[in-house]
Structure 1
Amino acid sequence: MITSSSKEVYDPVTEVLQFIRRVSNIPVPKLYAAFEIDDSYLLFMEYIDGISMSQLSDEQKEVVNVELQQHLDVLHGIKSKSIGGPSGIVIPPYRVMRRSSKDAWSRLSSETCDYVFCHNDLSQENVIVDPETLKIKAIINWEYAEFFPAYFDYPFYKRLGPSMALEGERDDVPELLQLLNSESTN
């Protein structure tokens, strides 16, 4: 797969994919190359053959959810004293950025390891599954993955749709913005 966009979004993705591969067994696409050409940042990644979790029956999704929860337990077991990605850059989840005009975000710190690694965009579309075995082949779209409080990683994978509150669901964006706009969490 080749993706192209701004370096501000995709440069941290290269670090996140390498970080996840180094510290866990969570299946992510292999990154072959990443570079900038004519104001675009290109990623060359492994193509993952499979189907998205959204294409499965409810019974099949229950099977996949068991494995997915194991991967999330590993992901949330990776802790930090600071908000942000492995590179130090803070890029909030899309659902937060679309509701704020802020361009730069502070890297908040805590005296304890209060922050866990969050995917922040874990919808059914971002879980690629082998349709025969129902094993997860890859979790994709890591551009918003960083250390945040665990509640940032809302379980959007439990229903169809985008990684933001739908009508009738609790909207967590005001709470997330309040934390991100605070001076310190000490």
Structure 2
Amino acid sequence: MGDSGYWITSDTDRFYSYDAWTFTKRELRPSERRLNWKREIIKAPWTRERLQNEFKALQFIAAKTTIPVPKVLRFERVWGAYQLVMERVNGKPLDRIKDNRTKALLNAEEFINTTVLPQLRSLTSCTIGALIGVVIPPVRITTHDKRGQWPAKVANTPIFSFCHNDLAQHNILINEDTLQVEAIIDWELSGYYPPEFEAPLWTRAWNEPGYHDIEADKVEDLICLLSDTGKQKRAR
């Protein structure tokens, strides 16, 4: 990255901007969103809730674990749109590491298995869902099941562990000098879920063959774990 810049991702309703010190992500304003064929605004599901959840999750992970995450500077509403302002982390996404890529992949794999996953799995709850009190399923579920609302499933014991739910290479920042993990970013979809929800998305880059097939055969099982009536509702 240079000293400043911005970009928009319409499919996830996000405007991103950065300078030498900060990184900001916010929800799109109506004028920035795409329109469907009826000229109606297209809005991604849980767009505001995802951003609110990441704000909570970054503070939670920083307080409860040693997993490196961006420091939250402020969460605010500007001209009707919520935005999350963080300290900028100067690492490079793992999927964009070209030099010494094998070493970077091995370091990331070790860090995830020895630090990230054990610490996340030590954080447990009796209730499924995000820290803000709603259930925001990961993308591999919402692409198959378009339900707009999910019940917060409750167990008798704390069997649900904290999951990032998008632990992919583009969300793992690497120090280009040491090739070690600098930070884990993008916690919008995180929350308490069955441990099976943490798919090994870090094993392939999003544009590599097979990425979208990672545990694709488990989606129906995950839907059933998320909701006792998953299969029945999917069949309708």
TM over 0.5: yes
- Aligned residue number for residue 30 of structure 1: 71
- Aligned residue number for residue 144 of structure 2: 99
Unaligned runs of 5+ in 2: 1-22, 28-46, 230-236
CA contact (8 A) 2:199 2:214 kept: no
| 1:59 Cα deviation after fit | 2.9
Aligned equivalent of 2:201, options 150, 153, 156: 156
- Aligned residue number for residue 52 of structure 1: 93
Give CA deviations for 1:133-161 in whole Å, capped at 9, x if unaligned. 12211100100001101100001101121
Unaligned runs of 5+ in 1: none
Which one has the largest radius of gyration? 2
Aligned length: 183
Question: d(CA) in 2 for partners of 1:179 and 1:85?
Answer: 16
Aligned equivalent of 2:222, options 154, 162, 176: 176
Which residue identity is paired with 1:60? A
- Aligned residue number for residue 3 of structure 1: 25
| 1:126 Cα deviation after fit | 0.5
| 1:182 Cα deviation after fit | 1.7
Aligned equivalent of 1:68, options 98, 102, 112: 112
CA contact (8 A) 2:104 2:180 kept: no
- Aligned residue number for residue 120 of structure 1: 165
CA contact (8 A) 2:107 2:181 kept: no
CA contact (8 A) 1:9 1:143 kept: yes
| 1:27 Cα deviation after fit | 0.4
Q: Percent identity?
A: 29
> Given the two structures, how large is their TM-score scaled by the length of structure 2?
0.71
Q: Which structure has the higher relative contact order (CA within 8 Å, separation 6+)?
A: 1
| 1:14 Cα deviation after fit | 0.8
